[in-house]
Amino acid sequence: METRCIHLAGAVCKASLSSMVPSLFDYDALCNSLEHQSCPVLKARKERGEYEDLFRVAV
């Protein structure tokens, strides 16, 4: 099972519309753990229907 979010490129979150840099807490709690599917940024993208396009770009 993947333990690191595939949308993290270096320190930049590519799932974010503004290409934000997650805080150290968010990185440890979400980006670099099995909980990355609980990320509020990914959830927002899914709700807006943009997740499929984001996944195609990341892979």
In the chain, the percentage of residues whose pLDDT exceeds 70 is 78
Q: How confident is the model at residue 21 (pLDDT cuts 50, 70, 90)?
A: very high
Q: Give the phi and the psi of residue 13 in degrees, each rounded to 5.
A: -85, 110
CA 59/CA 56 separation, integer angstroms: 5
Asked if 21 contacts 29 with a C-beta cutoff of 8 angstroms, the reply is: no
- pLDDT bin (cut points 50, 70, 90) of residue 58 is low
Higher pLDDT, 19 or 56: 19
Instruction: Count the neighbouring beta carbons within 10 Å of the beta carbon of residue 58.
Output: 13
Q: Which pLDDT belongs to residue 6?
A: 85
- Asked whether the whole model's pTM tops 0.75, one would answer no
